[in-house]
Each structure stands twice: as C-alpha cells, then as structure tokens.
Amino acid sequence: MAREQARNAAIPSRKISGRHSVAFDHYFRFDEITNFLFELAKEFPQLITVESAGKSSEGRDLWLAKISTTGFDGSKPVIFMDANIHAREWIACMSTLNLIHELVEHAYALPEMLAVDWMIMPMANPDGYEYSHVGDRMWRKTMSKNVGTTCLGTDPNRNFAYKWETGISTSDAPCSLLFRGPHAESEPEVQAISHLLRTTPNIKLYLAVHSYGDYLLFPFGYDYNIPNDNEANLQSLGNRAAAAISRFNPARSYTVGNSASALYPASGASDDFAAGGAQIHYAYTVELSGGGNQGFDLEPSKIQQVSNEIFVAYREYAMFVAETF
C-alpha cells in the first residue's frame, strides 16, 4: 500500500482547470509545441519533465517528454514514442501532444495509463516540419545538406541502422523523396532516437506515429515474409488496440498487420530498428487517419477527433504493458 501511495503521490487529485485548457484546433508550429511542453512541465513538475534529446541539422531541439508518477526510477516498464519524423504528417505530432496533455492533466483519472512510464518525442523532425509550413507542404524528409547537390534532406525512416544496406523501397539519390542518406544513422534526428532506444532500460513497447491510412503495422518490414518470433502477440495486441478504436468510433477501422504485407516493404525504418536493433519485442508504426490534400493535410477541425480515436488505442497498449511486464 505504501508503495502504491508513493507511486501515485504525484497525481493531482482533481483537474486543475483554466490555465491549460488547450484547443487542438490548429496545427502548432515548433515554437508553440515547445511552449506547450514547457508550460505543462512547469505546472506539473512531479509528473512530466522535458529535456532535449539532441539537436536537428538546423539546430532545433528534439524535445523529449518523460512522464512518470515515480520519477522514472526504473520501477515501471517504459513505452517509447516518437512522432512526426516525416515532416508533412502533421497529425502525428498533434495527436501525440493530445496524449501528453491527457496523461498529465487527467492523470488522476487514468491510473491504468500511468502504471507505465512514458518517453515521448512528439516532434522528431522539427526542421522538415517547419519547412512543410513555410516552403513545401508535402515535404517528407529532414533538411540536412547533401554532398554534390542542392537537394536537401534524407528520409529519416529509411536511415535507421537495421537492414539499411538492403535498400528496399529506398533510394541512393539525394533528390529522391526516399533518399536513405549517405550512411545509416547519418541524420542527427535518427541518431537521437536510436541512442535512446539502445540505452534506455526497460522499454517494452515502441510506437512510431505517422500518417496516413489507418494502420497498426508491426515488424519486420524491410522485406516480404521476414519471420518474427513475436508475430502472434503483435497481431493480437494490435487487434486489441484496433478494436478499442472501433468501439469508440464504429465508422473507423484500423488494419493490423505486418508492415510489408499490409502496406509495403521498406528498409531502414524505425520500427524494424526498435525490434531488430534494440530488441524491443513490441514495436508498431501507427498510420493515423488522413484527409485533405493527398491525405497528409488533415483538416484542423479533425485534429481532436483523430487524436481521441488513437488515444483509446494508446490506453489499450499501456494496459497491456502494465499487465504483462
């Protein structure tokens, strides 16, 4: 009991309303994301800390939110998430900020979700993201310089150091949307995530948040028909998360499956690195719901709805991790 009390000591007993009733009715630029995170950390220092996990090519911080009722003391399993590593997939960051907001502001009502510790990077590609606001809305890559060309950027989800060399659905051409980079982990954004995945003890679940298409995808996806010892468990946990979404909104149906067979094979992606490189047995790529121009430009009026739908899936994921580890 004493332990239980200590665990929950940081949870506020009621909603502290007013100051931080946030409206997820527009897409936050990088500065607003930064302010949002630090305001929460200022108000709830016992629950959330924000630190920089490194810097992007252009020098922006890769903010990492750590949410724990026990000060990240190693007593609980950890869920690691990153979002918006693809610049144009704006709903990925917003829905993840919504999760952070819920976990912190409504901690008192969500003990089952705070039975795990959370490590969340809501904006994994700030340079590309800003460029997708001011330059090219359909920008996907990072903004790093390439040798011998003015074309910028690497596809960070082709740059991870697991089966990078396989080169399936990737490109060696710096001007390509799918450029895999000059070598694996050339991108500082990819280095920062990889380092955390390699060195943080007790990560039991990895989620890469992308858009779009309504999928929960699991490894391996670097080629077709790559066996995964944990496949049956990955499928059943994914089914559980997808079922929660459909209960919440019967009109929404997420497809759960192996990433190569359900979507397409692609090597050097973060989910495969988490599973194969960092030995995290539960890893998924979440493809959120699309809308607007080419699917990536979801209408701002739908941010909250899509965020609420994936939130119930995250709740199932957290309960599973708490039950299992």
226/261 Cα distance (integer angstroms): 10
Catalytic residue, chosen from 287, 299, 309, 323, is 287
SS3 110: coil
Q: Name residues contacting ligand 0X9, limited to 43-82 (CB under 6 A).
A: none
- Tokens standing for 274? 């988490």
Catalytic residue check, 51: no
Is residue 95 within the footprint of ligand 0X9 (CB under 6 A)? no
Number of H helices, E strands in the chain: 9, 8
Among 272, 297, 309, 316, binds ligand 0X9 (CB under 6 A): 272
Nearer to Zn ion among residue 111 and residue 213 (C-beta): 213
Nearer to ligand 0X9 among residue 189 and residue 287 (C-beta): 287
**Dihedral pair phi/psi, residue 38, rounded to 5°:** -75, -30
Is residue 163 within the footprint of ligand 0X9 (CB under 6 A)? no
27/18 Cα distance (integer angstroms): 21
* 272, interface contact from ligand 0X9, Zn ion, none, CB < 5-8 Å by kind: ligand 0X9
* Beta carbons within 10 angstroms of residue 269's beta carbon: 31
- Tokens standing for 53? 């996990």
Residue 217 carries which DSSP code? E
10/44 Cα distance (integer angstroms): 9
- Tokens standing for 79? 């869920």
Nearer to ligand 0X9 among residue 114 and residue 288 (C-beta): 288
Nearer to Zn ion among residue 89 and residue 105 (C-beta): 89
Give the β-pairing of 255-258 and 61-67: unpaired
Q: Name residues contacting Zn ion, limited to 182-211 (CB under 5 A).
A: 210
- Min dist. Cβ of residue 259 to ligand 0X9 (A): 4
Is residue 187 within the footprint of ligand 0X9 (CB under 6 A)? no
Binding site for ligand 0X9 (CB under 6 A): 86, 89, 157, 210, 217, 221, 259, 263, 265-266, 269, 271-272, 285, 287
Q: Which residues belong to the active site?
A: 287
